[in-house]
A and B are shown apart, each in its own frame.
Chain A
Amino acid sequence: MSDVLSHYLQEHERRYPEGTGDRLGELRQSALQEFRNLGFPTRRQENWKYTDVRKLCKHEFRINDDVVDLPAGRIESLPIARPDCHELVFVNGRYSPAHSRADKLAAGIIVTDLAAALNQQPELVSDHIARYSDTASSGFTALNTAFLQQGSVISLAAGAVLDKPVHLIHINTQQQQPYSGQLRNLILLGDNSEGTVIESYFGLDDAVYFTNSVCEIRLDPGSRLQHYRIQQESSNSFHLGHTTVRLQKDSRYESSVVSLGAELSRTDLNCRLEQSGAVCVLNGLYMVNGQQHTDHHIRVDHTVEATTSTQNYRGILDEQGRAVFNGKVVVHKGADKTDARQSNANLLLSDKAEVDTKPELEIYADDVKCSHGATVGQLDKNMLFYLRSRGIDEHTARSLLTFAFAGEIIRNIHMASIRERLEQLVLGRLPDAETIREFTHE
């Protein structure tokens, strides 16, 4: 066994010396076994063909249990979009009650951290946890389940409507020893319920850490979820995010994924449309520069008749940044009247950047409407010419067009405060931010 595997096994031993016990203990134990078998993925696996995690395996990340409190006002000073929300704050992968605030919730709504839920609503957790995400799907998911303790539970009873969004804020600080947060979120929406969940990940300074987050979502008939995932991890960090969504009849899932940070990030999003009328709308934007590597894997399964999915992902790559996109649509036998659209566009700004994209279709039904498109290229020469002919210098014209390219995704974000914050973040990454601000805000 490799050193890195035995490190995590030791970590597990250290934390859970009692071995198996209750159902949760058994779950952790079997997941650990799974992790021992799977190990970390290698590039020989098709799903990891373009992403090499050996760098992550070089570190021995300590699974963090320590509660770290941030100085007052520290969170407020960070460039994180913070609309009026119920907030659960996690510092270094551990829930921080001091920073969190969940205002009074209507009946039938549970918003709590996972550790508390394990005590107070054990059956709710055990009925659903590890049911939707396949622990065996990758070593990272198995590792996450093996250390299942931190995270959050959001549960809406039938007909419940969240009065304001739930914001899961993850802040990571610099520590002596590299550490890891293993986070597990469970989001359950009952019939016709409705809510918005925001996940923010933020790293301070040059903190070295590894976030491994798994999110399981179940949408009952007629429910609607808006899900934002904004990743601004530190430039020395590793971010693994795995989201699984199960959609029942006429439910709707809208997701916006924005990946800006981390040295290496990998985001998986699996949606399973299990009953007719289910709709998922998946948008994403990734920006890399320096030596960053980002990887987005999406899989949408249309298992029954009359379901709809759209995917629209865009990437901007600068310097030596590298991006991987893999979008897969599977239309199962009998899933007629499926409408699936997929699009991935990439903008390469530097001659050292690289993009690897693979939009896949696997179709086993004949009465379907499926299309996909992928493009890789630079800014349109005609557009540049148009702007230049109006007296805008080339530099500014390039930045403007790049901003507009990202705008296609940002525009679709419903929540104004998040949209504006993201605009600022994208702008901040472009040269001539001030000039563009002048152009775009009259």
Chain B
Amino acid sequence: MIKSKLLYSITRTLRGIGKRMIERIWRLGAGTRLFFLTIFYSGESFKRFHLTLREIYFTGVMSLLIIVVSAFFVGMVLALQGYNTLQKYGSSEAIGVLVALSLVRELGPVVTALLFAGRAGTAITAEIGLMKTTEQLSAMEMMAVNPIARVIAPRFWAGVISMPILATLFSMVGILGGYMVAVPLIGVDDGAFWSQMQANVDFRTDIVDGLIKSLVFGVACTMIALFEGFDAPPTAEGVSRATTRTVVISSLTVLALDFVLTSFMLVI
């Protein structure tokens, strides 16, 4: 009796794990399919680029405030922490380099992507999910208008275009925040702050790599948000869960992709 109960419990657990795995693989496949369909139908949406421009306003411009404010504080904290460590080794002038490299190579793209997922990603998922719930996507389909070309593709390209610009702004404002703390507040030499930064930040290996990262994060975060909205069950609970999943999956994907990209970039 006990044996059979134990066996039943084990098989039930294994069945549950298997079911979840199949669901995950199915969703990965469906997401990849949506990605390729989006690329395929992008031509149709490019013909009406004003749709993409409108979405750039909603995803990019409307995210500016949170990006700029966060960047300023991140830069200031970096300068404080960096100075605290660097002064022990007598190289507090290198604070500019530390702030710039940290922001351009890592924090700029990563934190921007995390903020983007929380601000614009959730908005995209909720909007698409609600469009599905209220049959707006079905209505479009019935009017012989492809929702992927009309709704998904403009939002996708808006995210992909916005992310590197936001990440660049994040790094610039972060450096400014670091400067405000390091130079006027702590008293690091103004010239040393900028000249060391100029001498040690490389355009190709630092700035371009950072931009490549933010571009990849832009593709990942926007596609996850779009897929979650498109795949959300047409109920209030379904949309709410999809929105939560967008933040969780985007954040984990960004952090994992960051490791993979950094590994490749350091080797190359």
The answer on A and B forming one complex is: no
B-contacting residues of A (Cβ < 8 Å)? none
A-contacting residues of B (Cβ < 8 Å)? none
